Structure 1
Amino acid sequence: MQLTRQDDLFQLRRHGQAVCQALELGEAKRVRLVTLASEAGAELLGSAGLVTEFVRLAGQPHRVAVRYLWKGDQAPSHDLLTASHRLLDLCTDGPGRLLIGQDLTAPFTAEEAAERVTAELAGLRGPDMSEELRRQNSQLLQALQDERARAEELERLNKELDETNAGVMALYSELSAELEETNRGVVALYADLEDKSRRLRQASAAKTRFWANVSHELRTPVNAVISLARLLLDENADPLTAEQHQQVSLIAGSGSTLLALVEELLDTAKAESGRLEPQLVRVDLRTVLHQLRGTLASSAAEGVTLDIAHTTFPGPFTTDEVMLTRVLRNILSNSLKFTASGTVRLTARAEERPDGPWAVLTVTDTGVGIPEDKVEQVFEEFYQVRGAHQRHVSGTGLGLPYARKLTELLGGTLTLTSRLGQGTEVTVELPAAPTHAGPVPLPQEPLLRSVVIIDDDPVFLSTLRPTLDRLAETTTEVTRSVEALRTIRTTLPDAVLVDLAMPPPDGYQVLQQIAAVPSLAQVPVVVLTSMGVSDIDRARLGRARAVLSKTHLTAERLAEALGLRPAAEGRTTAAEPADSKDSKDTKDTKDTKDTPPP
């Protein structure tokens, strides 16, 4: 159709109604398409060569569309395009063209569509303006009724929404009141929990102080008993009779057992609280196994063979030597207790893994074994498998739980497999990694000219003298901490050893006094203590170079802690004090147990 005058718009509407009806387009869609097609024709009327076409578009989905083609710069209005995009399924435009359309419900083929449209158009009578107006009025009236129905439905929905909102507000008010009441209860509960947490922290702090005091009070006398017994058994000591030697050996063995038990109890508590820290050093596994062989050989019952393999770990093996020894000693002791005949065997091997080398230590025995349903329970503290074999065997039930905790602290695993009457196998797997070199090997002559040791325990001082004799030419002992600073300033030693637990001023205060004297800035200071490493207040250690346990204290460990190094003259020595050059000849070289007051 060509659109050149107003009557053509009338024909456009009639033909549009016929085409849409022939293709079974719904009433609502038909009204929108015909109305917008008429509006577009009215806006474009007067354009040169304006032509309109009714077309069927195949594809997914099928569509009926109205296409306008014209020449010139005239274009449909923005409002018309916006309405078309919003109300119709298709609207595209460009210079001299416009295409609008709706989706069809029934997908007619081209032939079917052409036949239906031809038949519908053939039935159109001549132009009747009044009939067309009546049809338009009828459509507008129907649209108005539909709009009114939608307005009434919207009003009904708004009323329901208002009622719902009122209910929601009432529920909200009720919930707010309940929530406020609950919050008051939570605040009260939180205050109660905070008070209980404060009490628990206080109890934990008191327990920590208790363990620190117990550590010092128990370990100090036990260490003294062991050290004195070793001095009596030393080859250079006065000879003992056979009976005396046996009695002193029993004292030393019982002291070592008591010390091990005390350390197990303390370390178990520390491991649970996360305060037990491994001290990693390079370990000679062969030496550790040799010591275990010598220590536990006498524990084997008659008819039981203790077989600890002679082995050398290939490459460096880094771990906490004390913890490793305790782990293996506990496992071996446990196996020896419950093996009446046969063999208890310890083997060690290296294993390469993606994360580096590992050490695998396995202990097997031919003992009574453990029921399969009790295997995991043996790792509960103080638990012991009940049975006839338990009657004559003493123990606390801490051995295996303690060994597993220490193994985990070392970054490894401990597993146990056993069957009743067929023995037990315990496997300890530990990572091995390179670390710094071990203790400095000491030459025959002393490394230092003088050392001052500050400690109020005369028994410990007497047991430490042989060790210090290997380290220094002269040793000055100070048993009263109030005299420590004056003695150090007078003697200007090459090194100072300080105990922390002393009558006031304690070791921490002595360290502060030393740090406050500039002339002593170069004197190395090492702390000696019976407390656990985790019980020490590190913030108050000042410039102390290291903290060493009084247990297993050797000259090599002291030399390493003091940072000894070769001097220019070829002599190994510690760092020189800042003003020691002018006072080397004036130092007091006598050993004193009690320095006179200033």
Structure 2
Amino acid sequence: MCRALGLAEPERVRLITLVSEAGSSLLGAAGLSAEFAFRLSAPGPDRLEVRFGWAEEREPSAEIMAASRRLLDLCAHDRHRLVLGQNLPGPRSAEDLSARVQEELAALRGTDMSEELRNQNRELLAALEEARAQQEELQRLNQELEETNTGVMALYKELSNELEETNRGVVALYADLEDRSRQLRLASAAKTRFWANVSHELRSPVNAVIALAQLLLAADADPLTGEQHRQVSLIASSGNTLLALVEELLDTAKAESGRLEPQLVETDLRTVLYQLRGTLSTAAGEGVELDIEDVPFPGRFTTDEVMLTRILRNVLSNGLKFTAAGSVRLTIRGEERADGLWAVFTVTDTGVGIPEDQLDRVFEEFYQVRGAHQRGRSGTGLGLPYARRLSELLGGRLTLTSRVGSGTRVVIELPADPPAQGRPGTLGEGPLLRSVVIIDDDPDFVRTLGPVLDKLAEHTTEVTDSSQALRMIRTTMPDAVLVDLAMPAPDGYQVLQQIAAVPALSQVPVLVLTSTDQDTLDRSRLTRARAVLSKTHLTPERLAAALDVVRPDREPRPSPGADTGADTGTETDTGIA
């Protein structure tokens, strides 16, 4: 029947063996019967089933039941019934199965049962031989696997040792790199401090030289001879050049430390270009034409005017310096982009050009291209790095292309309306304040700041002796006080303390003006100050913004001479640090 139904030899041997063992264990039971059937089940596979039944209380052996459940597809049992089954391969019709079984059984009529038993034994031996061969193959594979595992474990151990050694080297290298990185950071910080300190120390005397030269050249000054006028003009020009270099050094140091912030105002590009044309026209050598396009910009343009001027001046100066014949040309155009209107400044020259392998290095600070670029041309190597850094601070970018012998092309792209952060307020018509007191022991700085304060306030009181500061403030009751920090005793910190001790002065806004690096200030002693501003590039707009645009029509202050309390006290101010 198993052969007729197409069962494979392993399944056939399992079913025949277990059915024979089950029948032997039940032999002799009252009413014992055995029924062979094949069952066609639509939801599941077709199956050959052998169904035993008996009348008395009797159980097949536990070993047969356990083996049947493990080796056959079906083993069902209750007190008087046992069903063993094996799934049949492939779906077939009931008629086909019946015909095949009937044909097989008809061939068995008259067959010697001992011969059939010998056939079954031969099949069983063949199955056992096959199982033994499979077991030997399995043992061989297990041995190979064990040998492979041994090799893998040895390789793993070797790789683990190498990895551990590599990790130790990496940790040591990382520690060395960290140490070197710390040293580089310290060196960079020291370099930045050096630049800032040197620039700060140079700026004051240079400002004094320029101011004195301007006084000598003023229309209302004593007349000078032609030679004297030429020499003083040379002093003023050299002083302005030196001041520009000092400002570049200081701004570069500030930019590296993240303290340089643009002051955004609406800018008249034609005025900027006019100033550049006047400043750089004398720098063009014989046979070199400076062409600065004078085309109105198509819309409002907001930027830091000082930074923009320095960017364009540096790029144009570079072009003039390295162009022996031909032209240096600046063009401007507006370009609408997805994020708004942009201004695109393009500077082209017909100079010596830059080798391709040097295009990236020209943006390294203090680096200068060797060869023809150095012959008879002075410079610090800060121009292009400084211009690119300022372009990025203004929210734009600077790119450069060049070929040796064919000139250089520099493109500066800036947003026409950058975010309003850091943008100072506007003054409007006329001064905003009635009076301002400025306390500073540097008369040259006070004189230089005079025109700025004239646009901010109707009246300015200058105090160069800080010991008289509190008396002058209480006498004039100004709308604002500007105070320097670095002064002979009492210094700016002490003046702030004196002002904070007078209750009647609690509403007077105080601004600190300083040329000292703001990172070195003692902020805990500046709580009385509304803001701390650098002395560089002070404008009426910056002062007005720091003072929150205090207008003269606000609540009246106590009149001069009114009782303002004692010179000392314990009440402190609630001003903004």
* TM-superposition CA deviations, 1:475-497 (whole Å, max 9, x none): 45455668766765676532122
The match for 1:347 is: 331
Aligned AA (2:247): E
The match for 1:551 is: 536
Q: State yes or no: 1:53 paired with 2:35.
A: no
Q: State yes or no: 1:448 paired with 2:433.
A: yes
* TM-superposition CA deviations, 1:254-311 (whole Å, max 9, x none): 1111111122234345545655443333322222212212222222334444332333
Aligned AA (2:38): E
1:562 corresponds to which of 540, 543, 547: 547
The match for 2:9 is: 27
Relative distance call for 1:512 and 1:109 in structure 2 (3 A) is farther
Quick check: 1:278–1:409 contact (8 Å CA) kept in 2?
A: yes
Q: Distance in 1 between matches of 2:508 and 2:473?
A: 10
| Aligned-partner SS, 2:212 | helix
| Aligned-partner SS, 2:300 | coil
The match for 2:304 is: 320
Relative distance call for 1:65 and 1:262 in structure 2 (3 A) is same
Aligned AA (2:243): L
The match for 1:526 is: 511
Q: Considering only aligned residues, what root-mean-square deviation do their CA atoms show, in Å?
A: 5.2
Q: Distance in 2 between matches of 1:310 and 1:404?
A: 24
Residue ranges of structure 2 left out of the alignment (5+ in a row): 52-63, 76-82, 565-577
Q: Distance in 2 between matches of 1:83 and 1:239?
A: 128
Quick check: 1:277–1:533 contact (8 Å CA) kept in 2?
A: no
Q: Distance in 2 between matches of 1:260 and 1:102?
A: 99
The match for 1:207 is: 191
Give the TM-score normalised by structure 2.
Answer: 0.72
CA apart distance, 1:218? 1.8
* TM-superposition CA deviations, 1:353-410 (whole Å, max 9, x none): 1121110112233445556665555445445455668534332333233323322333
Relative distance call for 1:505 and 1:150 in structure 2 (3 A) is farther
Q: Distance in 2 between matches of 1:409 and 1:469?
A: 31
Aligned AA (1:308): I
Q: Distance in 1 between matches of 2:117 and 2:501?
A: 112
| Aligned-partner SS, 2:389 | helix
* TM-superposition CA deviations, 1:565-587 (whole Å, max 9, x none): 4454xxxxxx77xxx83354459
The match for 2:456 is: 471
Aligned AA (2:339): D
| Aligned-partner SS, 1:313 | coil
Q: Which deviates more, 174-183 or 375-384?
A: 174-183
Structure having greater relative contact order (Cα 8 Å, sep ≥ 6): 1
Q: Distance in 1 between matches of 2:529 and 2:483?
A: 9
Aligned AA (1:398): L
Relative distance call for 1:299 and 1:109 in structure 2 (3 A) is farther
Quick check: 1:55–1:65 contact (8 Å CA) kept in 2?
A: yes
Q: Which deviates more, 341-350 or 386-395?
A: 386-395
The match for 1:356 is: 340
2:411 corresponds to which of 409, 422, 427: 427
| Aligned-partner SS, 1:123 | helix
Alignment of 1:159-308 (within 5 A): 192-235=176-219, 240-271=224-255, 276-308=260-292
Q: Which deviates more, 398-407 or 539-548?
A: 539-548
Q: Which deviates more, 290-299 or 456-465?
A: 456-465
Q: Distance in 2 between matches of 1:32 and 1:502?
A: 109
| Aligned-partner SS, 2:4 | helix
2:482 corresponds to which of 497, 510, 519: 497
Paired positions, count: 536
Quick check: 2:424–2:541 contact (8 Å CA) kept in 1?
A: no
Give the TM-score normalised by structure 1.
Answer: 0.70
CA apart distance, 1:216? 1.6
* TM-superposition CA deviations, 1:304-330 (whole Å, max 9, x none): 443323333333323222221111001
Q: Distance in 1 between matches of 2:498 and 2:127?
A: 101
CA apart distance, 1:29? 3.8
CA apart distance, 1:350? 0.8
Quick check: 2:40–2:94 contact (8 Å CA) kept in 1?
A: no
| Aligned-partner SS, 1:582 | coil
Aligned AA (2:426): V
Relative distance call for 1:141 and 1:484 in structure 2 (3 A) is farther
CA apart distance, 1:558? 2.3
The match for 1:581 is: 557
Relative distance call for 1:441 and 1:333 in structure 2 (3 A) is same
Residue ranges of structure 1 left out of the alignment (5+ in a row): 1-14, 58-62, 70-79, 92-96, 569-574, 589-598
